[in-house]
Structure 1
Amino acid sequence: MTRIDRRALFTSGAAAALLAAAGGSVDASPKSGGVLRLAVPRDGGMLEQAARGAIYDRLTEIAPDGLLRGELATGWHSTADARTWTFNLREGVAFHDGAPLTADDAAASLTVQGITGAEMRSVTALGSHQLLLELTRPNPHLPYLLAGPDHVIAPGGDFPVPLSEAVGTGCYRVERAQEGRHFRASRTADHYKAGTAGWADTVEIIVIPDAAVRAEALRDGYVDVAALPEPRGLLRRGEFLYHPSSSDMALAARHDVGIPRKVGQSAPLDDGRIAERWWRA
């Protein structure tokens, strides 16, 4: 059987049809509450990707439907040559430690991390909630680049840090974490995304190196989602949701897990947003 091209599948919306064919309820409205438990392999950095996606926000993000939208930025514009960009930041946002988000935090974060795919001349805070980015050469794709997983906004630009010490503005704050082993976080109260993301009360991510054991943990109810599981046991025993399909199983989930109708991923957890976008149905 020809392997499915994931990017073409997701951007076309065919993933929803495949999930429906597998018995999943992709039309259900998101529900708040419960614990979402994920099992991931050790290799590939999936634990860190999903955890950082829960903890941190970026200036922009790629929505599940593949469209660009603001996250910590509420709007932006550039000069005609796309070399100088101004971003307006969301007001009233606080880090998990209670400190308010400012343009200085964004400027420091981007200065420390750089911008993959763009040559940055300078980044400057214009007041408390406006940011000026100057590039050495034109780049009309800058807002898309800033949605990348390496461009998180941290207090004072303090990134990277161990997961157990991570402080962001994301939907979840760290309860406990051990690098390469496990992560647990609780939903942030009164988050600016409330009602649109961050559905589960608690998110847990555990590393299980063996694909067969990840599948067994899913079958036996110890986890709700398994990344890159061994498919044979799952297909023989019980019905699960397969993403993007049972023949190309990047993720498998229990039937009481809610999955967005459109999923803009090209690989398992590649944008690290599963923690805030999936829910317990």
Structure 2
Amino acid sequence: MTRIDRRALFTSGAAAALLAAAGGSVHASPKAGGVLRLAVPREAGMLEQAAHGAVFDTLTEIAPDGLLRGELAASWQSALDARAWTFDLRDGVTFHDGTPLTAEDAAASLNALGVTGADLRAATALHGHQLLLELEAPNPHLPYLLAGADHLIAPRGELSASLANAVGTGCFRVERAQDGRHFRASKVAGHYKAGTAGWVDTVEIIVIPDASVRAEALRDGYVDVAALPEPRGLLKRGEFLYYPSSKEMALAARHNVGIPRKVGQRAPLDDGRIAERWWRL
């Protein structure tokens, strides 16, 4: 069976748009509480992608409505030639270990990871909450590029190789994880995104290598969302939502899963945001 590009799998914007086009039920009013459980295959780093979206933030984000917004950055401005950019970080943001976010953390993270699509010369902390990004060549699209999933901000720029030790500023804090197998995280109380994201109390992601077993787990209610499931058996029940369609099923979800109603169509969309933006009805 033909599958759509796996990079689109955890793109909340694309998923919601496809659901709307298919005539499914899209729920506009998020509900807080409950557990959201996802089953993913072992391939393509899907576990890590979804888990990183729950634990980490970036300086900017492409919101569910498709618009660019600040995430860890409260505001930004550039020089006239778009080579030098200044970002002011949000006040009062802390990492999951309780340490405050500083411009030094952001600078170290971006110096270590670089910026995909831009030639970063240097990231420098001007003071506690102001960051300077200097580019080798002008790039007016830098704020959009920084919304990419590769530009995670970690304490001192040290991104743990193991999910179990991941520490970010995201809506969810790691409870336990085993690389390549499973991940569980709980909502951070008093998070700066409270009321706009991080709806469920707990997120669980499990790797199930066999597509037919992922479909069975969804069908029998053990998970709420399944990536690249075997469609036979699911189609007969009629209790599920399919992305992008029942013929090319990249993802299936139960009807008691809610997603944003308004979704922009402008790329780049934000991969890995299911945990943060979807909810249980």
Following the alignment from structure 1 to structure 2, what is the Cα–Cα distance between the partners of residues 167 and 246? 37
SS of the residue corresponding to residue 234 of structure 2 reads helix
Listed one character per residue, the Cα deviations across residues 61-114 of structure 1 (whole Å, up to 9, x for unaligned) are 111222211100011110111000000100000000100000000001001111
Question: How far is 1:260 from its partner?
Answer: 1.5
Other-structure match for 2:98: 98
Q: Secondary structure at the match of 1:236?
A: helix
Amino acid of the residue matched to residue 126 of structure 2? L
**Overall identity of the aligned pairs, in %:** 75
Aligned to 1:275: 275
How big is the shift at 1:174? 0.3
Say whether 1:17 aligns with 2:20: yes
Match of 1:112 in 2: 112
Q: Deviations over 1:211-236 (max 9, x none)?
A: 11111100000000001111121101
Q: How does 1:1-281 map to 2 (within 5 A)?
A: 14-19=17-22, 21-22=23-24, 24=25, 26-263=26-263, 271-281=271-281
Q: Is the 8 A contact 1:54 1:172 kept in 2?
A: yes
List alignment gaps of at least 5 residues for structure 1.
none
CA distance in 1, matches of 2:53, 2:265: 13
- Give distance in 1, aligned partners of 2:83 and 2:129: 20
Contact 1:18–1:245, Cα closer than 8 Å, also in 2: no
Read off the aligned partner of 2:139 and give its amino acid letter.
N
Cα 1:146–1:262 shift into 2, 3 Å? same
Q: CA–CA distance in 1 between the matches of 2:18 and 2:179?
A: 32
List, as ranges, runs of 4+ consecutive aligned residues in structure 1 with deviation greater than 6 Å: 2-7
Give 1:249 deviation, angstroms: 1.8
SS at the partner of 2:151?
Answer: coil
Residue 243 of structure 1, CA deviation:
2.2
Look up the SS of the partner of 1:218 in the other structure: helix
Q: CA RMSD in A?
A: 2.5
Q: 1:159 Cα deviation (Å)?
A: 1.2
Structure 2 letter corresponding to 1:58: T
Q: Deviations over 1:180-199 (max 9, x none)?
A: 00000000010000000000
TM-score w.r.t. the length of structure 2 is: 0.91
Ranges in structure 2 where 5+ consecutive residues have no aligned partner: none
What is the CA–CA distance in structure 1 between the aligned matches of 2:97 and 2:16, rounded to whole Å?
A: 39
The CA distance in 2 between the partners of 1:227 and 1:174, in whole Å, is 22
Checking the alignment, whether the CA contact within 8 Å between 1:15 and 1:262 is kept in structure 2 is no
- Check conservation: 2:171, 2:187, Cα contact below 8 A: yes
Could you tell me the TM-score, scaled by structure 1's length?
A: 0.91
- How many equivalent residue pairs? 274
Q: Does structure 2 retain, via aligned residues, the 8 Å contact 1:265–1:271?
A: no
Distance 2:144 2:60 in 1: 7
